[in-house]
Amino acid sequence: MPERYFTPEEANELLPEIRPLAEEMVGSRRLLAGAEARRAAVLERISGNGGDLAPSDLAELAEEVEAHATELARCVRELSALGVQVKDLDRGLVDFPALRDGDEVLLCWQLGEEEVAYWHGVDDGFAGRQPL
């Protein structure tokens, strides 16, 4: 059971706080994915013949991955502290727990949408979105 339930109005009032955090989350996720891909490429070169890499190259990539992962985790923590559930790191998709006709549902919003205008059942997910 969530700590609180949102009305559509309350969810929309919270969007000025949610939107920048979701934007940071998506950006951090993108940067993290890029850093992880670069690290994987370096590790592959190392497993071959070393590829003329300085020992600091891998350490720098590891630090970059850690920094982006830390930033991503901070965004998710702050969103969760606001009472929303993060559903998709790449799209900036979050759900707000709500009640509809006495049943627990989720109000659904993602980056690019002007307002919280959809809901779905707890087990339905994004594919089950319906207009409010």
Domain-embedded: residue 126: yes
DSSP-assigned letters across all residues of 59-84: HHHHHHHHHHHHHHHHHHHHHHHTT-
Specify the pLDDT at position 51: 62
> Does pLDDT of 50 surpass 70?
no
How many domains would you assign to the chain? 1
Is residue 56 classed exposed, middle or buried when 0-12, 13-18 and 19+ CB atoms within 10 A define those classes? exposed
Position 5 pLDDT exceeds 70: yes
Does residue 56 belong to any structural domain of this protein?
yes
In a domain, 1, yes or no: no
Q: Domain range holding 30?
A: 8-131
**Alpha-carbon gap, residue 90 to 1, rounded angstroms:** 26
Residue 38 within a domain: yes
Q: Is 70 part of any domain?
A: yes
Residue 2 lies in a domain: no
55: in domain: yes
Residue 103: inside a domain: yes
Q: 11 with 107: CB under 8 angstroms?
A: yes
pLDDT for 115 equals 97
